[in-house]
A and B are shown apart, each in its own frame.
Chain A
Amino acid sequence: MTSRVPPNVGDALPALERTITLTDMVAYAGATWDWYRLHFDPEFVAAARVPGPVVDGQVFGALFVELLQDALGPRCFVHELSFTFRNLMFAGETVRCEATVVEVGSDRVRVDLSATILAGEYGPQRPAARPAHATVLLGTADGPGAR
């Protein structure tokens, strides 16, 4: 991870694809102190009448940050991030996160993001989170509240 060349408007940042297994979801449940059974318990999942254990949607935010920091380098700071949920994602499915630079300022960029669930055993390709946006500060690893 070294300093990156500032991006230009219209640039697509390298996409991030991640298959989220039930094991990943159990690890995430532990890491977030969130053991809601819809995320891992087959009996609870069947009673909820959903086709499989449901991936916690907030993980899309974490993946967006990973994509942005990997693309823009360690001396950047994700200041604002927003996303709207569209469809449930289930254990074993693969999500593809994409980002396009839409504004470039002297010390920040604004990025449009999307998360798409790829076709698999639970159905065809469908949006997971969209629209989604981020404002990323450049040239600093920390935010305006750091001291």
Chain B
Amino acid sequence: MSLLTDELRALLGTRKVYTAPEPLGAAAGRYFGLAIGDDNPLYSDPEFARAQGLPGVTAPPTLICETNQYANLPMNSDGYAGHSWHLDVPGTRQVRGGNSYTFHRRVRPDDVIIATWEIHDLTEKQTRTGADMLVVSSRATYTNQDGELLAVNEETIILVSLDGAA
């Protein structure tokens, strides 16, 4: 049975745009560095950052692709408060395939993040054990309030059928 339903097919090419309600802020980058254990002074020491040619502290590069700050969504019952395509297909489980980031410049405290998500590919495949799966490829393009391109995040989510696996 095909996992690519008409409902999912209709998502191809659709876009969701989120505009952060406030600038990212210097504290966000410093906090993220602390949380992951990265004490790079580029995130916390303005003088050090300026000595490297930067205008001041910047966020750790991957933060823009990991944060839900820009989404400004309420927390659901599972505790999640970020972008979702709601790919809830009965009889399947979701696994994360991977991410491919392209960073165009470092994110600064005064950047207001605008994230544009789009599903750009849906491909049916089979697992090595013969189970049907659907590979959902989406792209988030992050810009700031002045239209400057900050980063692009290509993300793969895989829906695997719970039936048919050997």
Contact = CB atoms under 8 A, between A and B. Distances in A.
B98 interface: yes
A147 B150 CA distance: 12
A62 B38 contact: yes
Given A36-B79, A62-B38, A144-B105, A31 B62 contact: no
Q: Interface residue tally of chain B, by bracket?
A: 35 or more
Contact of A27 (B34, B42, B58, B95): B34
B79 A35 contact: yes
B62 A61 contact: yes
B31 A74 contact: no
Most buried by A among B40, B48, B49: B40
A79 B103 contact: yes
Nearest to A80: B102
A143 B105 contact: yes
Contact of B106 (A1, A36, A146): A146
Interface residues of A, number: 47
Interface string A10-53: 00000000100000100110111111111001001000000000
A62 B62 contact: yes
Contacts of A7: none
Contact of A145 (B31, B78, B105): B105
Interface in A115-147: 129, 140-147
Interface string B33-66: 0111110111000001100111000101111011
A86 to B, nearest CB: 9
A75 B81 CA distance: 35
A18 B38 CA distance: 10
Interface string B66-78: 1111010001001
Contacts of A36: 78-80
B80 A59 contact: no
B79 A78 contact: no
Given A31-B35, A35-B75, A85-B98, A65 B53 contact: no
A62 B40 contact: no
A24 B82 CA distance: 20
Contact of A35 (B41, B65, B80): B80
Given A30-B31, A57-B96, 17 more contacts: A31-B28, A31-B63, A33-B68, A44-B79, A61-B65, A74-B48, A77-B103, A79-B102, A79-B103, A81-B101, A81-B103, A82-B99, A141-B106, A142-B58, A143-B103, A145-B104, A146-B105
Q: Which 4 A-B pairs have the closest CB atoms?
A: A145-B104, A82-B100, A84-B98, A145-B105
Interface of B: 28, 31-32, 34-38, 40-42, 48-49, 52-54, 58, 60-63, 65-69, 71, 75, 78-82, 95-106, 148-150, 154
Interface of A: 1, 18, 24, 27-28, 30-38, 41, 44, 56-59, 61-63, 65-66, 69-70, 74-75, 77-85, 129, 140-147
